[in-house]
Amino acid sequence: MTYNVLAPSLAPPERFPASPVESLDPGTRRRLVLEEIAHFRPSILCLQEVEDLGRRWSPRLRQLGYHAESFKPRRKSHGCCIAWQTAEWKLRRSQIISLTPNEHFPSLSGWCRAQGLPYPSKEYHYLKSQHGINQRLQQSWRFRGSSSAALAILESKSARSALQSHDDQLLASYFSGMTIDGAPGDSQDTSSSPVKGLQWAAEPPPRGIVVATCHLHWDPAEPFVRLLQLITIFDEIRRANRKLHYPVILAGDFNTVPDSPLYRLFTSRITGEQPLSPDDLDQLVKAMHKFALSQLNLTMKQAIDLNESPFPFIPLPRQKAYVQSQIDKLVLPGQLYSAYAIGSSSSTGLTSEPQFTTYCDFVGTLDYIMFTGAPQSTDQSADSQGKTESAAHQEDDPPGWLSCLMQRILNLPPAEQVKPGIPSALYPSDHLSLMAEFSIRYTSGV
* 288-315 residue pLDDT tens: 877 766 655 544 445 444 444 556 556 7
Q: H or E stretch including 289?
A: helix 278-296
Residue 132 Ramachandran class (φ > 0 left, ψ -120 to 50 alpha, else beta): left
pLDDT at 415: 95
The residue extents of the domains of the chain are 2-176+203-443
pLDDT at 311: 61
Residue 292 has a CB neighbour count (10 Å cut-off) of 19
| 106 contacts 141 by C-beta, under 8 angstroms | no
Q: Which residues pair with 346 in a beta bridge?
A: 349
pLDDT at 306: 47
User: In tens digits, what is the pLDDT along the chain, a chain of 446 residues?
Assistant: 999 999 999 999 999 999 999 999 999 999 999 999 999 999 999 999 999 888 999 999 999 999 999 888 777 889 999 999 999 999 999 999 988 655 444 555 555 566 555 544 444 444 444 443 333 333 334 444 458 899 999 999 875 544 444 444 444 444 444 333 334 344 444 344 343 344 434 455 567 899 999 999 988 888 988 988 898 899 999 999 998 889 999 999 999 999 998 998 876 655 555 678 888 888 888 888 777 666 555 444 454 444 445 565 567 787 788 888 888 888 888 788 899 988 765 443 445 799 999 999 999 999 999 998 755 533 343 333 343 433 333 333 444 456 788 889 999 999 999 999 999 999 999 999 999 999 877 655 43
Helices (H) and strands (E) in the chain, counts: 12, 16
pLDDT at 294: 62
Rounded Cα gap, residues 166 and 157, in angstroms? 15
- Is pTM, for the whole model, over 0.75? yes
Vertex 212 angle, CA 281 and 346, to 5° = 60
Architecture of domain 2-176+203-443: 4-Layer Sandwich (3.60)
* 66-93 residue pLDDT tens: 999 988 877 788 999 999 999 999 999 9
373 residue type, one letter: G
| 371 contacts 337 by C-beta, under 8 angstroms | yes
Phi, psi of 193 (to 5 degrees): -65, 135
pLDDT at 151: 96
| 391 contacts 375 by C-beta, under 8 angstroms | no
pLDDT at 198: 40
| 4 contacts 215 by C-beta, under 8 angstroms | yes
